[in-house]
Amino acid sequence: MNPFIQLPLVSFAVLSLLMIIIWGWAYRIKNAGIVDIFWAFNFLIIAIVIGFLADGNDIRKIILCGLAALWSIRLGIYLLIRVGSHLDEEEGRYKQLRAEWAPHENLKFFIFFQMQALSNVFLAIPFFIIAVNPETEISISEYIGAGMWLLSIIGEGLSDWQLKQFKKNPSNKGKVCEAGFWNYSRHPNYFFQLMIWISVLIFALPSNYGWIAIVCPLVIGLLIFKVTGIPMTEEQSLRSKGDLYREYQRTTSVFIPLPKRKNG
């Protein structure tokens, strides 16, 4: 079988089975939010599948799988800590889905979990393209993409850590986080998340059909700017913090970390 066909098929088969197990656990504890944890860790599984089955250049595969695994583990552990701290309390967005999907919510969550596995495989298309590249020479573009990917993982991790440290302080309850990157951007985590997929695109471009990887940053960008990212986050922040957040909106960049605008 063509490796480029085999890799996504095997990946989806493994992830689909895993998501059936996770759906069973979510059904038992009545908390669909655990899907977020495993969506992140699923990229580690894809990296393992690639490591075993892809027939491309070994050095390129090591760089790819190493970065994919690092990102997946970092994000997965962050979500494990966040979601795992309240397994007995489902997050609001999943409560809303549960209410909207009643009385067939369990069947619809089963389909939803499978769609998450499918989204993992879809977003991993650039990984498969890179992994089957047989060229022995690693190009400058690939090194630039890999370097940007690593820096973006670090940036995303620092953003999450800065927000977590801010929230840990009881005196900050009800306040707006302006620590570190959050002093310059209202959504530095989303900025670095998009940069990760742009980096993957740059890494993939020298490979055959690497241009197809552009679909990933486009889809992620659409989600961030128009669907579940910035719009929902800002609406919730305005509801919970009111004028404090309006002032924060007025003086900071919505996305790209830039110097704060002066008052007045």
Q: For residue 185, what are the β-bridge partners?
A: 253
List the single range of 34-38, 92-96, 123-127 with lowest mean pLDDT.
92-96
pTM score, whole prediction: 0.90
DSSP, res 86 = T
d(CA 48, CA 46): 5
pLDDT tens-digit map of 183-219? 999 999 999 999 999 999 999 999 999 999 999 999 9
Structure tokens belonging to residue 74: 């970092």
What is the pLDDT, as a whole number, of residue 264? 47
Q: Which two tokens stand for residue 250?
A: 């007025």
CA distance 112 to 101: 11
Amino acid letter at 210?
G
pLDDT, tens digit, 9 for 90 and up, residues 213-235: 999 999 999 999 988 788 888 88
Window from 74-83, 84-93, 146-155, 192-201 with minimum mean pLDDT: 84-93
d(C-alpha 64, C-alpha 227), whole Å: 29
The average confidence (pLDDT) of the chain is 92
